[in-house]
Structure 1
């Protein structure tokens, strides 16, 4: 057997050692690289979102308000800022509205000849022709206001003469002055009514004397709401009396004015019925509500006013203020897997005035949160009552901070889930 070459043995040993050393080195490098990649991925990965646990306040609703309803005629009552009618009866039946028509006449005149705040508007000189109109209205048993030939009145004074004592003669004289004729104003008035959606209301003249001046209780409530938006008209109809030097004292024909918060709007009288389009301010908590209503078909104005007074007395207590949210109220809670907690709180309280048994509901909208500082807006609480809606922001009362290195390295599954959720949302 030939002798072994010692140099060959040493070469083989060296090769084996090199394989082991470099293999071990490769394994260490592989493990080190994988660790670096894992660490980098863990530290840069998104963290899981904290899902809110929401507290929804219970809806609030009072008992239905008991009302004292008229036992006659057609009627409707609404409130400014509230949808629909609070109460109504036979409200879609067209009936003669009598001198309530003068509200339409006034609105059309002020549209064509506006009066600046604090001023009387253009001056109008009255003539013998206007005196003839006066006597013609007297002959027809229509209500009138005095007129003096040669007298000059402002438009505001003229409107006071038409509205307060319900002077039919001024409704005609003003139509002649402002539009050239009664027919021209009536044409514009009916177009105006159509433009404002009062499709069941029709004018035949400017005074309301004709029984062909018709409307419905529902339409007249809307007309009253429009009238109150005109400051000149609203101020005139709320005036109990005026003293115009050329005419003397003129008293408002609305006998309910100044009682039960009544501050308008217009009487109307036919041979067969007494009517009143009325408005009243009702105090409710820290605010007030403007009621607009109408009652048509009273036997007399005394009977009519008694029924309206009873109706108002029963309606007013039905308004109440509800505060479904308080400032700093907690409506949602957050808890992260790494132990941070926070609450979503309201930035302010909310209150709403409601009628009768209208329910007040709160919808809480809170979004999932990952990392966020104290004061971050995370949603809103939406208060709804009928057509009213109030939105109050929700903010965190504590910081949801990064979980840190050790939690990230120790929770690969949670990070993978968060990464998958983020990819799914992109």
Structure 2
């Protein structure tokens, strides 16, 4: 029986901190409800000027302490591929918290996770039945090389079945106010797992509050005994100030990217978070991901630099 879908209610654009924006000299444009700019763009601040929104798919940007800096492309739920793993990691860490530097319990690789290696063209990590990896290591294998089989292994470890874990994912989405999101698996391989740029920004803000999650998504490469060195799938980590977060791509989902960057506002570090979804959907995963990375880098750089010129200090180093 399919799990009940979270009721959908249309969200109003992110609230802005008037005092902060006034201090930066950024004018506030009142939300107009039905009078969005062409392409579904919502530009709630004018002082940073027009942003280079991707013409494809949908995107959103949020500044900690301020709120939404704009959206484009509307809020029609679309497949998100491996961005799903952000929620998988979020739920696992809520259920089994880790302190920074803590490895957590050892988890045995089951036959199913081992059997799924290399099957169906999925993004998987070579593991063998009976191996034991720490919770921290499995979270790294989930988020750095984006192992689908590891996502499902963690779901079974936590809840006994992927289906029971998905119910937890849906409940977590409901608590976070992700009203246009439906999870149907732990890995994102299912095109029926759908979300919006605004919802994914909301999740990313919450996930980045966990120091273990934050450290893992900022890791450029890990070294695993028996597997060697594994490089993060997120090439945006080479961009100054970027702290992660996650890539995702498939033919139905196109290219998808969540990013987080540190900027300074009045000398205080703030988290700038963005989402770019559904780039070049229907093409190859590689083509979609290239488009998402290019669009995400352009959007991030523009927002960061314009915030700096509006009175903030440069990107965090």
TM-score, structure 2 normalization: 0.78
Shift of 1:139: 2.8
Q: Superposition pairs for residues 244-323 of structure 1, below 5 Å?
A: 244-272=224-252, 273-284=254-265, 286-299=267-280, 300-320=288-308
- 3-state SS in 2 of match to 1:296: strand
Counterparts in 2 of 1:144 and 1:80: CA distance versus 1, 3 Å: same
Does the 8 A contact of 1:93 with 1:217 survive in 2? no
- 3-state SS in 2 of match to 1:88: strand
Q: State the distance in 1 between where 2:215 and 2:143 align.
A: 11
Q: Could you say which residue in structure 2 is the equivalent of 1:238?
A: 218
Q: State the distance in 2 between where 1:127 and 1:197 align.
A: 34
Does the 8 A contact of 1:260 with 1:309 survive in 2? no
Q: Could you say which residue in structure 2 is the equivalent of 1:15?
A: none
Q: Superposition pairs for residues 14-413 of structure 1, below 5 Å?
A: 61-62=25-26, 64-66=47-49, 67-83=51-67, 85-134=68-117, 138-272=118-252, 273-284=254-265, 286-299=267-280, 300-320=288-308
Q: Could you say which residue in structure 2 is the equivalent of 1:394?
A: none
Counterparts in 2 of 1:246 and 1:178: CA distance versus 1, 3 Å: farther
Q: State the distance in 1 between where 2:66 and 2:266 align.
A: 17
**Which consecutive residues of structure 2, in runs of 5 or more, have no partner in the other structure?**
1-21, 27-45, 281-287
Q: State the distance in 1 between where 2:267 and 2:93 align.
A: 34
Does the 8 A contact of 2:53 with 2:59 survive in 1? no
Does the 8 A contact of 2:256 with 2:279 survive in 1? yes
User: Over the residues paired in the alignment, what is the CA RMSD in angstroms?
Assistant: 2.1
Does the 8 A contact of 2:274 with 2:300 survive in 1? no
Does the 8 A contact of 1:148 with 1:246 survive in 2? no
- 3-state SS in 2 of match to 1:86: strand
Q: State the distance in 2 between where 1:257 and 1:320 align.
A: 20
Runs of 4+ in 1 over 6 A off after TM superposition: none
Shift of 1:91: 3.7
Number of aligned positions between the proteins: 263
Shift of 1:248: 2.3
Which segment is superposed worse, 201-210 or 245-254? 245-254
Shift of 1:284: 4.6
**Which consecutive residues of structure 1, in runs of 5 or more, have no partner in the other structure?**
1-58, 323-351, 355-426
- 3-state SS in 2 of match to 1:256: helix
Counterparts in 2 of 1:253 and 1:118: CA distance versus 1, 3 Å: same
Does the 8 A contact of 1:295 with 1:304 survive in 2? yes
Shift of 1:79: 1.0
Q: State the distance in 2 between where 1:128 and 1:139 align.
A: 14
Which segment is superposed worse, 221-230 or 297-306? 297-306
Does the 8 A contact of 2:248 with 2:289 survive in 1? no
Q: State the distance in 1 between where 2:88 and 2:292 align.
A: 24
Counterparts in 2 of 1:314 and 1:232: CA distance versus 1, 3 Å: same
TM-score, structure 1 normalization: 0.58
Shift of 1:129: 3.2
**Structure 1, residues 128-158: CA drift from partner, whole Å, max 9, x if none?**
3321132xxx332211111023321100101
Shift of 1:283: 3.9
Q: Could you say which residue in structure 2 is the equivalent of 1:392?
A: none
